Amino acid sequence: MGGVVIGAAGRASAPRRGAFRRPLPIPVESTGQLDAAGIRHYRLATGYGTSELVEGLQTSTWGYNGAWLGPTLRVPRDQPVNIHVRNSLNRPTTTHWHGAQVAGRVDGGPHSVIRPDHSWEAAYTLTQPAATLWYHPHPHAYTGPQVYGGLAGMLWVDDGVDAQLKLPHTYGIDDIPVVLQDRRLGVDGQLAYMNAIGDLMGMKGDRFLVNGVEQPYLEAGAGWLRLRLLNASNARNYNIAFADGRRFHVIAGDAGLLSEPTPVTHLLLSSGERAEILVDLSQDRDQRVVLRSDSSTIIPSLYRMPSAVDGLDRHGFDLLELRVGPSLGLDTRLPDRLVDQPTLTANQPPRRFLLNGMVGSELWDRLRAGHGYSPRGNTGPGGMSAGVGDQKLFAINSRFMDMQTIDAHIALGSTEPWQVTNISLMAHPFHMHGTSFLIRSRNGQPPPAHERSWKDVVLVRGGETVELVARFAHPADKHYPFMYHCHILEHEDNGMMGQFVVG
Ligand code: C2O
Ligand code: CU
Ligand code: CU
């Protein structure tokens, strides 16, 4: 490495100084403050800052309670919490609790706008099992630029089951938050957003950050290490692997533990998805073990449009180096069994969703020739351009998101099968609010073992039909409806989203 990397469309990146030179930052852990009534209070504030995402470059960024990302909120199951959010940015935002089973009123979707210098409170009690959730802005048509600017954080639901099972559970020591993001920086060191035509397919960068630092290292003990992976990238898919090809164990999907650890060598993680993995470092003392995306084997196959695949998708890239020291002597293990999985029996007819990109090759050629692409202007940190053009490209059931239209009415307490069919040219991660789901089938076949836990994002490939089943136990009215959408944030902002009420 070294030298200046020049990419397409005037993009130029900072000199690369070599990977794994800086330690992995561990976000502050927030357990809230208990009041006399037994309610736990947490405080978040959006604001501006400067971050050294890439070594030697100062970048203007946004964060919660800091310059980039936000604290890891530790929320105990079955205890009432009140999360106070102050918006200190000069534009509206919202704060969505991704994966939290809460009512529409406190879900933080696009209708729950927090104006500049105003505050918002979300009071709820999570009754769902332990899970690695996260929070991020969700303002109508501007989720992409706000997340890209640095606004995101983790929210872990805790129920003590991990400790009982003797899974690693010491925060920042053997239980590590791993927020994966890619970014593009301009020659000026500032974040570049939507400044190349291909970005319409989803904004992908060429610098890989973990917890806000490019290719950092983590000092770990020789023993079991639990990594809580969150793909918080706007659009990029990762095929998680270790450079030496070693086996690791998936213990949890988006919203809960599996019934048993699933050994794999590769794990596909699309935007918005989480996975908890256990890796055995007991034989690696004084060694270095590299976590990477082994993209070439699978990522290009997710696109039937070659222009949406970049060199990094074709070749892969490094993410994080584990530097293994002596054993920490923690009494942890890989259990044979984790938790029992629920069964959900549908009591409603299937509801169908068609993911249809409007990008025929003709339209794509016109766009590439420079017609019909109009960025919305500068709204990001450091003057990065933001917003997806006015050209509507990505739809669900041939409809684009309309804040005034409710697309589905669901009875409170019902259990519905959702059939999601992708007839577009690329894979889309489908997400729904207000509940978690189980994957029943992919093209009629049972899902792979690592997808058999509670989930809230599922990657649906072109030509694939995925059947989900979900129980709708939390209400949402037309003032604060739930969303279903593609979690490629530029698709969501472009209109690949719909709204539903539960009541
Ligand atoms: Cu992670 Cu509707 O979002
Ligand atoms: Cu969500
Ligand atoms: Cu999409």
pLDDT tens column, 429-446? 999 999 999 999 999 999
Q: Which atom of ligand 1 is least distant from the CA of 136?
A: 1
Phi/psi for 164 (5° steps) reads -60, -35
Structural domains of the chain sorted by starting position, each given as residue range(s) with its CATH number in brackets? 8-158 (2.60.40.420), 175-325 (2.60.40.420), 351-502 (2.60.40.420)
The size of the chain, in residues, is: 503
CA of 322 to the centre of ligand 2 (A): 31
- Predicted TM-score of the model (pTM): 0.94
CA of 428 to the centre of ligand 3 (A): 4
Q: Residue 436: enclosing H or E segment and its boundaries? A: none
CA of 159 to the centre of ligand 2 (A): 21
pLDDT of residue 333: 97
421: left (phi over 0), alpha (psi -120 to 50) or beta: beta
Atom 3 of ligand 1 has which residue's CA nearest to it? 98
User: Count of alpha carbons within 13 Å of 439, Cβ hemisphere only?
Assistant: 28
pLDDT of residue 105: 98
Strand pairing partners for 227? 176, 277
Residues 6 or more apart whose CB falls under 8 angstroms from that of 254 comprise 99, 131, 132, 273, 274, 275, 436, 453, 454, 455, 456, 457
- 416 touches 346 (CB < 8 A): yes
Q: Which atom of ligand 1 is least distant from the CA of 485?
A: 2
Strand pairing class (224-231; 175-183): parallel
The token duo for 176 is 């590590």
The token duo for 249 is 């164990």
pLDDT of residue 385: 44
Phi/psi for 150 (5° steps) reads 125, 0
pLDDT of residue 9: 42
Q: Which ligand is nearest to the CA of 436?
A: 2
pLDDT of residue 251: 98
Q: Which ligand is nearest to the CA of 422?
A: 3
The token duo for 99 is 């994966």
Q: Which atom of ligand 1 is least distant from the CA of 109?
A: 2
pLDDT of residue 307: 78
CA of 301 to the centre of ligand 1 (A): 25
Strand pairing partners for 224? 280
pLDDT of residue 196: 83
- For the four alpha carbons of 393, 398, 403 and 409, in that order, the dihedral sign comes to negative
The token duo for 502 is 């539960």
The token duo for 65 is 């309670």
Q: Which atom of ligand 1 is least distant from the CA of 497?
A: 2
The CA angle 404-106-412, to the nearest 5 degrees, is: 75
Q: Which atom of ligand 1 is least distant from the CA of 433?
A: 2
Phi/psi for 12 (5° steps) reads -135, 135
Q: Which atom of ligand 1 is least distant from the CA of 492?
A: 2
Q: Which atom of ligand 1 is least distant from the CA of 272?
A: 1
Give the chain's residues under pLDDT 70: 1-18, 358-390
Atom 1 of ligand 1 has which residue's CA nearest to it? 98
Note the helical H segments in 228-352. Answer: 311-315
Identify the residues whose C-beta falls under 6 Å from ligand 1.
Answer: 96, 98, 136, 138, 272, 431, 433, 483, 485, 487
pLDDT of residue 286: 98
DSSP secondary structure, 84-144, as one string:
EEEE-SSS-B--EEET----GGGS--TTS-B-TT-EEEEEEE--SPSEEEEEE---TTTHH
The token duo for 276 is 């908890």
pLDDT of residue 278: 98
Q: Which ligand is nearest to the CA of 100?
A: 2
CA of 163 to the centre of ligand 2 (A): 27
CA of 252 to the centre of ligand 3 (A): 24
Strand pairing partners for 307? none
Q: Which ligand is nearest to the CA of 486?
A: 3
Phi/psi for 173 (5° steps) reads -110, -60
The Cα–Cα gap between 3 and 222 comes to 36
- 418 touches 468 (CB < 8 A): yes
- 317 touches 180 (CB < 8 A): no
Note the helical H segments in 107-239. Answer: 143-148, 161-164
Strand pairing partners for 499? 483
- For the four alpha carbons of 90, 490, 472 and 338, in that order, the dihedral sign comes to negative
Q: Residue 363: enclosing H or E segment and its boundaries? A: helix 361-368
Secondary structure percentages of the chain, helix, strand, coil, to 5 = 10, 40, 50
Q: Which ligand is nearest to the CA of 99?
A: 2
> Cα 178 vs. chain centroid, distance in angstroms?
11
CA of 432 to the centre of ligand 1 (A): 7
Phi/psi for 154 (5° steps) reads -100, 150
CA of 198 to the centre of ligand 1 (A): 23
Strand pairing partners for 26? none
